[in-house]
Amino acid sequence: MQPQRFLRQQKDKIMELSEQELVRRQSLQTMRDLGIDPYPAAEYEVTGHSTDIKAAFVDDDQSATWHTGSPVRIAGRLMSKRIMGKASFIELQDSKGRIQVYVSRDDIQAPVAEGEQPTTVEQQMYNVVFKKLLDIGDFIGIEGFVFRTQMGEISVHAQKLTVLAKSLRPLPIVKYKDGVAYDGFNDPEQRYRQRYVDLVVNEGVKDTFLKRATIIRTMRQVFDEAGYTEVETPILQQIAGGASARPFITHHNTLDVDMYLRIATELYLKRLIVGGFEGVYEIGRNFRNEGMDRSHNPEFTCMELYVQYKDYNWMMSFTEQLLERIAIAVNGTTKVQIGDHEVDFKAPYRRLPILDAIKEKTGLNLASMSEDEIRAEAKKLGVEDTEHMGKGKLIDEIFGETCEGTFIQPTFITDYPVEMSPLTKMHRSKPGLTERFELMVNGKELANAYSELNDPIDQYNRFVEQMKLADKGDDEAMIIDHDFMRALEYGFPPTSGIGIGIDRLTMFMTGQQTIQEVLLFPTMKPEVN
């Protein structure tokens, strides 16, 4: 960009500033004129946090962690202020919550000789607080002591105030009465675009993401206790494999080849089982160039786990225990309210073959039907564009149309047809079916798991069948990964694997109705300036 053009744009931006933004910039300059650095570089040591102080405060017990007179240094955003003559009450919001601060002019202003003007930074703090140079949203540090006000509120009595960062843009002011927000920052698009504001002003938003962190941390604890190894596999891949999905395509300039953002971690993790790991897992981003709605985002976080010498029956039991432990870690109970439903994650969960589920919900006995008969039933049920679908895809669509949304409590849907499970071991006693399950919760798929296919010849034939589906027009069919086939030919032990969507799991554990509420920065259309 040309320098003159850049300067013109900056000038235009200044002319577009609101009155409040102009006032804040003027306050910023006034601070600097007083010799106060509004963005100091020095470390500010914090010795206490709002919620910890209030939770552990004991009025007159000198042995308590926090008591009347306990010295403290806190820091955070100024969220409200009430100036009353020589005194002021302000509300400070730190990383854990909010606490009231009492500020007196006589306490924070260093002595000034009669008739002289304040000159030092300490002496200028009177001007900063009581001449209204501090604004809502500014970061400040408070050094003082803890006490309880006459109204009974645990507070901090300020003896020194430090400006840590000046806010140049006013925050939306959200007022709460009886638990209801007024004048709120409520527009979903604004909230998702400006998550940094959403986190500051809307109660409960940050808690959702702290719970998300607890989910991932607990998951890691369970896997680590079992002796499984966390690994990282490539995001840029030459073949988009491991799932049926449409990939994102990019170009590697140095190699001069097109590459794909991974749609799954599966095939690389299985290579590591071939290499001798007992169990491996990865928690990372996958990318699928598909639809966006209340439960889908094109980039999402998925956990995949593979354990040698196990099957899908073992994996169902392991998954039940994992989710029960996560629910307790996040909410203190196995029961979670999701919309109108109370969902209980306590093990065990119901296990139901997919063909039995369809028969139970619709009366259709698809097991005895030919592909053409199943296609005719799918059309009757409103499934569109069935001509390119194979038998397995048709069954999957019928299940999705008639059954999936009805399973509210955790339910393992098992024994999928081979056509829709190209990486899954054939069922040991049910011809034409595979040892696969999907876990349904609140009408949505949460997990997908198999007894992994480890017969290289069978796997190659399955890939060939997938290529035939691609020729019919199925753009989600898998491509043959020849290096993966080579790995299988070196010997792949009996293994069970599972994938769990972290975003959807977070939705369930926090009772959120849309995936955007559990993504810090969901994918959005470009912002129009």
- By C-alpha distance, which of 166, 58, 150 is closest to 100? 150
Query: Of 150, 171, 192, which residue sits at a domain end?
Result: 171
pLDDT tens-digit readout, 90-112 = 999 999 999 999 998 888 765 55
- Would the pLDDT of 415 be above 90? yes
pLDDT tens-digit readout, 13-51 = 556 899 999 999 999 999 998 888 999 998 999 999 999
Residues 124 and 73 occupy one common structural domain:
yes
Between CA 59 and CA 56 the distance in angstroms is: 10
Task: Give yes or no for a contact between 288 and 512, defined as CB atoms under 8 angstroms apart.
Answer: no
Pull the structure tokens for residue 297: 């985002």
Between CA 507 and CA 519 the distance in angstroms is: 10
Assign residue 34 the CATH number of its domain.
2.40.50.140
Q: How many domains does the chain have?
A: 2
Choose between 24 and 476: higher pLDDT: 24
Residues 313 and 447 occupy one common structural domain:
yes
Choose between 184 and 316: higher pLDDT: 316
Pull the structure tokens for residue 89: 């009450």
pLDDT tens-digit readout, 148-202 = 999 999 999 999 999 999 999 999 876 666 655 555 789 999 999 999 999 999 9
Is residue 3 in a domain? no
Structural domain span for residue 444:
205-349+409-518
- Would the pLDDT of 1 be above 70? no
Between CA 266 and CA 339 the distance in angstroms is: 33
Tell me how long the chain is: 529
Quote the mean pLDDT of the chain.
Answer: 90
Is residue 378 in a domain? no
Task: Give yes or no for a contact between 439 and 466, defined as CB atoms under 8 angstroms apart.
Answer: no
Between CA 392 and CA 396 the distance in angstroms is: 6
Residue 262: helix, strand or coil by DSSP?
coil
Q: pLDDT class for 478, splitting at 50, 70, 90?
A: confident
Assign residue 282 the CATH number of its domain.
3.30.930.10
